A and B are shown apart, each in its own frame.
Chain A
Amino acid sequence: MVKNKQIKDLKLTPEQIDVLKEFGNIGSGNAITALSDLLNDTVNVSLTALNLCAFWKIPDLFEDPNIEVFGIYTEILDNPDLSIIQFFTKESIINLINILNEFNNSNSSEIKNIRDLNEFSYSIISEIGNLLAGHYASALADLLSIKLVPSVPKVALDNLTAMLNGVIAKYSQFADYSIIIDTKLQGKAINLNGIICLLPSINILNKLFKIVNLKFNLNL
């Protein structure tokens, strides 16, 4: 759980940054392989970026922080210091649902607009979120030999910054800094644009670095 301490200053060595980036790489790599298997298409991945910044700067890390996108939020059960949030553009989600409907030979008509989305479509979005977050978490869990079980994903279509508000609030009661490890993904043949972010709280860093035998003295 979050400790009752305030962070004064947080500095990471290049080695620690590499380790955290690697966590992100391994997690997102697994997640995206799963997605690419599901869609039978190549999915391109950007290099994982690690950002350590003040809580109020987080929205600025995104290219267009006030765009309306789909957000899929997953928490790790029994481990409130980790959460995964994924963002997909509206077009990507419409594409994904149409493709998955085709595979299914389902009779549902093609979705052209976000207004056409029904409960079943939202369930598909949630399932995609579950697939990605599940693979991400299980890869991390294997690497760290800890148990990470993602919660049922929550889906919303809203302003990106507005969706981030709740997540920022969760982590910034005791710290003014946040870490965000993000990987962009892009479909090759199908139009797919998204971003997967892993948000570890500052408090879990000690634990993470200890597992990989890195010394880290958090200045709490």
Chain B
Amino acid sequence: MVNKIKSYGKIDEIDRNGEIFLPIGHYTLINCKNKPNNTNPKISIYGLGSCIALILFDCKNKVSGMSHILLPKAQKNKKIEYPHKYADLSVKLLVHELVKHGAMKENIKGIIIGGSKIFDLDENFMGIDNIQAIKLELAKLNINILKEHVGGKEGRAVIFDTKNFTVLVKLTSETSFTRLQ
């Protein structure tokens, strides 16, 4: 099933500061194995509300990927142009892509960030749904969640360093980034 869906929405553009900005519904993949250290870009999202940043990486083979997920579940039997918009498809596709680029499935670890509920609406549970959907999909594929920074009522900014696999997170009310432990 995974093979049939084309991986639309890959971002490869690196800006002058060596950062990749990831819009909603897009993903990026960095294979650092054959590259010198200075080309390892940082992947960043600066406005993360109910969306989720899913980071998967294999530190032994130095392959990492990140996707910016908006919704928990894709409609069935529909032509999908941005599969990384949906949690269920994005997890499968990102794992598939990582393996294709030399990662060992057993080594892949996950980090999830986001899923806050900013406007206090009863029906605005999208963030919580997203978190649950991603955890469920990762559990199906036996991938451990190494770290997480989810829920709450505030937006976040995330920077993922593909060189040493560290994640910097900042809540909107905070003034500086802190390293996710």
Contact = CB atoms under 8 A, between A and B. Distances in A.
B35 to A, nearest CB: 28
A158 B120 CA distance: 13
Contact of B75 (A166, A168, A173): A173
A12 to B, nearest CB: 19
B140 interface: no
Interface in B25-54: 25-26, 46-51
Interface in A175-189: 176
A156 B48 CA distance: 14
A44 interface: no
B4 interface: no
B172 A168 contact: no
Which of B49, B70, B85 is most buried by chain A, counting CB atoms within 10 A of its CB? B49
**A55, A66, A154, A165: which has the most chain B beta carbons within 10 Å?**
A165
Contacts of A11: none
A154 B119 contact: yes
A65 B47 CA distance: 8
B46 A163 contact: no
A172 B78 CA distance: 14
A165 B51 contact: yes
B104 interface: no
Interface in B133-181: 153-157, 172
B107 interface: no
Contacts of B75: 4, 6, 173-174
A136 interface: no
Nearest to A176: B81
Interface residues of A, number: 32
Contacts of B46: 65-66, 159, 161
* Interface residues of chain A: helix, strand, loop or mixed (majority): mixed
A55 B118 contact: no
A161 B48 CA distance: 7
A163 B25 contact: no
A160 interface: yes
A190 interface: no
Contacts of B23: 56-57, 59
Contacts of B124: 166, 170
Contacts of B111: none
A156 B70 contact: no
26 contacts: A6-B78, A55-B24, A55-B70, A56-B24, A57-B23, A59-B47, A66-B46, A71-B119, A75-B121, A154-B121, A158-B118, A159-B172, A160-B47, A161-B47, A161-B155, A162-B172, A164-B49, A165-B50, A166-B49, A166-B126, A168-B70, A169-B50, A169-B70, A170-B126, A172-B85, A176-B81
Given A55-B70, A56-B82, 9 more contacts: A6-B75, A56-B24, A66-B47, A158-B154, A158-B155, A159-B47, A165-B48, A165-B49, A165-B155
Closest 9 CB pairs of A and B: A161-B47, A162-B155, A165-B49, A162-B49, A154-B119, A159-B155, A56-B23, A56-B24, A162-B47
Interface of A: 4, 6, 8, 55-57, 59, 65-66, 68, 71, 73, 75, 154, 156-166, 168-170, 172-174, 176
